[in-house]
Amino acid sequence: MARFRGPYHKKAKKLGLSLEQTLRSRKVSDYGLRLKEKQKAKYIFGVLEGQFRKYFENSSKNKENTGLILMQTLERRLDNVVHRLGFAKTRMQARQLVSHCHVLIDEKLVNIPSFQVEPGQTITLSKKILENPHVLEALAQKEEAAAIWLTRDGIIGKVLRLPQREEMEQSIDEKLIIEYYSR
């Protein structure tokens, strides 16, 4: 599966995610602003264009709030949940844990980072990965889950419910993403 393998610091700086922000003399158009917001969401969650578009199309078919459903879909990806539970420091590290077969959902091995977790499912780490110093450091760093919709006890995490908007990634304005795809 393809994914972004370029310089992450340049990408973060371009999307305004870095502390050192360069000022541009040109005014960004409305289209450019919407495109930048979509690109930022794709970058944060590590999703390519085709998969992101599919997430949007599935969200727009739902009668509820399209933006909320889109953000819930992104937040419920297995690699993001592993990161939110504190099993990994970054989403990239969480993605690697998942794809290298170190994550179990309800006692079954899952190696698909885009797997959608459901409320009530239990996420655990394999015993083999507990020898890894990076994972041990991440586990020691985050004793409790950062997200309210998740709970963690040692190496066992559980999805309690679907995330609410205030519990999700705050730096993304999903309204701009909806406007981008609605043009």
Domain boundaries in the chain? Answer: 28-76+168-183, 78-161
Separation in Å, CA 51 to CA 3, 45, 58, 100, 123: 11, 11, 11, 21, 23
Return all residues near 170 (Cβ < 8 A) that are at least 6 apart. none
Per-residue confidence (pLDDT) for residue 19, from 0 to 100: 42
Per-residue confidence (pLDDT) for residue 115, from 0 to 100: 96
Per-residue confidence (pLDDT) for residue 63, from 0 to 100: 87
Q: Which two tokens stand for residue 13?
A: 């700086």
User: Which superfamily is assigned to 78-161 in CATH?
Assistant: RNA-binding S4 domain (3.10.290.10)
Q: Running along the chain, 183 residues long, what does each successive block of 10 average in pLDDT?
A: 71 65 69 93 93 95 91 95 92 94 94 95 93 88 72 90 87 93 88
Per-residue confidence (pLDDT) for residue 20, from 0 to 100: 47
CATH class of domain segment(s) 28-76+168-183: mainly alpha
CB 55 within 8 A of CB 177: no
